[in-house]
Structure 1
Amino acid sequence: MIAVVEFLASRPTEPATVADVVRHLGLSRATCHAILASLVGAGWVLRDPAKKTFSAGPALIAVGRAAESGAPAAHAADSELAALAADLGMPATISYPIGDRLVIGSRSPAAVAADDEVRVGQRFPFAPPFAAGLVAWGAPGDFERWVSRAPDGGLESVEHLRGALAAVRRRGYSVISMSAAAWRLRALLSELDAFPSRKRPVIAGLLHDIGAVDHLSEDLAEGMSCPVGIMATPAFGVDGTAVLNISVHVWRERDAAAIRALGDRLLAASRAVTRQIGGRMPDDFPI
């Protein structure tokens, strides 16, 4: 039942037919009909009798508002997110780790329209190269779980990822070099649950191959520039463990000095959000 709700919520402007749900979730038609009937009865799903399609229902609004009111971190992060986007003139997002997924919980657009199509509720695999900061300051075992979600267990890139996370810990933020076109492709592929289960390993492989965590700002010689996709930093809970991911969507050529300046602003955002949610900065986080 949860999978059906998440599938419908992942496509808010595209109502689904029973055949769509069956195909993407691998359910039998009888099971699918029974689940949808229960969800319609509860108001979690709406049925269009003319088109015979289903979409997320109004009862989910109340659920979402209740969840938001119970998450003070979301409110604190949203305030700083708006300031971050305004200061940098770039879209900014907050994402939260939920099991093996990252969920976009908040998005603050740039003052000027940007080449970015990320939306609230969108989900990405919690796997390389996403959210390296969450892993760098995560709980024991997070690195192994993160790497294991990469195609083929990430065996060929484990040492590279260890080095990349070491760089993230030195800087306090991660850098992904990626063009806006590559990101749009990644965004289209990111909703793994919208694909039939037999295709998900292939999609996960494409996601992994499009971009990677870089040592970018350290490797880049002064005066040289390169395309920067996303830069991100975590904020921390009461025990000093990373609990959410703050990202800015750059999509521009940037030289080493500009990357460091963006990174400094991200570090300030990390400290502000951590303070507002009553968290604690790790002792080894960059000053």
Structure 2
Amino acid sequence: MRGSSSAPTGRVVDIVELLSQPRNRQMRFSDIADELGQTQGTAHAILKTLSDRGWVTRDPTTKSFELGPMLSLIAASLNTARPLAHVAREAARRLARTLDMPVSVVEVAGDELLITAFESPAHNPLQEAVTDRIPYLPPFGVAFAAWDTTEAQRNWITRGGAGDTDLERRLRAVLTRTRDRGYDVDWMTPALAQIAHALGAISVDTLPAGLRPIIDQLRVELASGLVDDELTGEDRTVATISAPALDDAGHTRLILGVHPMLAMSAPDIDHVAQQLLKEIRTLVSDTRG
């Protein structure tokens, strides 16, 4: 959405998001202010308002805050307000059981990808390593960008290309290849994914001028790895196989991603992908029906 954002609103959302994290569900007032870098006066005023409206509650014994009952009512309404997301979570749960692999639901919010659901077989520890927010720029979000609007694709490519016209051309080819195939395959190792995520979270505007070209070059190199990857005859470790659920205009509403973290052959990858695509066709049909 274009236009300037509201800093006061952002501070309110920061507190709600902070308390929504499992490790932060009970925090004292001073902890919240320190964690978010807010003044005590600002944090107190926001928490007082949120408490009055039932968005947070304060334990009288421990003096800690947690999410309140009003958010439970809002969450309960999401099944009807966002039916596709609700059905997608159920589809992810079925796929995780069927494939015995973790499955995620990912949506776009501005310049970020949000993991809004994650279903994992009980024995698989990958869930602990999942990041809730991922920057929407190469090498992330191919399955979104491949079916996005022309303007959104251009922005995604530009953010990853950092002025490298050859790389931008190759990124466009990646989107075309993915759309033609119907799904995306990501071979990025967890270590590289963490590096890419960290680089994507850095705002070059806040960096010393000497560091900006270095960060840009690192981003280019990571994005270059994306365009060089393709299905081959040799087995390779697959991090994610993902595909979109499309709206009536053919644009991505959300994506389902399977996370094998196993060495797989091209036929094995396609086998998983076909089950993924079948589940997506079902969830889209159920929502429209």
Question: TM over 0.5: same fold?
Answer: yes
Over the aligned positions, Cα root-mean-square deviation in angstroms equals 3.6
Within a 5 Å distance, the mapping from 1:79-94 to structure 2 comes to 79-94=90-105
- Say if 2:162 and 2:220, in contact at 8 Å, map to a contact too: no
> In the alignment, residue 88 of structure 1 is paired with which amino acid?
L
- The superposition leaves residues 122-152 of structure 1 with CA deviations (integer Å, 9 ceiling, x where unpaired) of 22222222221221111231112323554xx
Identity between Structure 1 and Structure 2 (%): 28
Q: Which secondary structure does the structure 1 equivalent of 2:23 belong to?
A: coil
Shift of 1:255: 1.9
Are 2:289 and 1:274 equivalent residues in the alignment? Answer: no
After TM superposition, the score normalised by the length of structure 2 is: 0.76
Mapped to 2, the partners of 1:149 and 1:49 lie a distance apart of 48
Residue identity in the other structure for 1:139? T
With 36-45 and 23-32 compared, the bigger mean Cα shift is at 23-32
Superposed displacement of residue 88, structure 1: 1.5
1:232 matches 2:242: yes
Aligned match of 2:251: 241
- Map 1:169-208 to 2 at 5 A: 169-182=179-192, 185=194
2:170, 2:227 within 8 Å by CA — same for their partners in 1?
no
Gaps of 5+ in 2: 1-11
Following TM superposition, by how much is the alpha carbon of 1:180 offset from its aligned partner in structure 2, in angstroms? 4.1
**What are the superposed Cα offsets for residues 179-207 of structure 1, whole Å, 9 maximum, x if unpaired?**
34555x469959969xxx969x99x9889
Give the one of 93, 117, 120 matched to 2:128.
117
Give the direction of change, closer, same or farther, for the CA distance of 1:210–1:140 in structure 2 (3 Å limit): closer
Q: CA deviation at 1:168?
A: 0.6
Match of 1:42 among 40, 46, 53: 53
For residue 252 of structure 1, what is the aligned residue in structure 2?
Answer: 262
What is the correspondence of 1:158-169 to structure 2 with a 5 Å cutoff? 158-169=168-179
Within a 5 Å distance, the mapping from 1:41-60 to structure 2 comes to 41-48=52-59, 53-60=64-71
Partners of 1:190 and 1:66 lie apart in 2 by: 36
Larger radius of gyration: 2
Residues 33-68 of structure 1: CA distance to partner in whole angstroms, max 9, x if unpaired? 211221122221233566554333332121111123
Distance of aligned partners of 1:230 and 1:73 in 2 relative to their CA distance in 1, 3 Å threshold: same
| Residues 1:5 and 2:6 aligned together | no
CA distance in 1, matches of 2:155, 2:145: 9
Match of 2:162 in 1: 154
For the pair 1:27 / 2:38, whether they are aligned, the reply is yes
Match in the other structure for 1:284: none
Q: Which has the higher helix share?
A: 2
Assess, with a 3 A threshold, how the Cα gap between structure 1 residues 187 and 78 changes in structure 2: closer, same or farther. Answer: farther
Q: Name the SS for the 1:277 alignment partner.
A: helix
* Change in 2 beyond 3 A, CA 1:108/1:76: same
Give the SS at the match of 2:261.
Answer: strand
**Partner Cα separation in structure 2 for residue 46 and residue 92 of structure 1:** 33
Q: Distance in 2 between matches of 1:276 and 1:104?
A: 22
Distance between the aligned counterparts of 1:61 and 1:118, measured in 2?
Answer: 26
TM-score (norm 1): 0.76
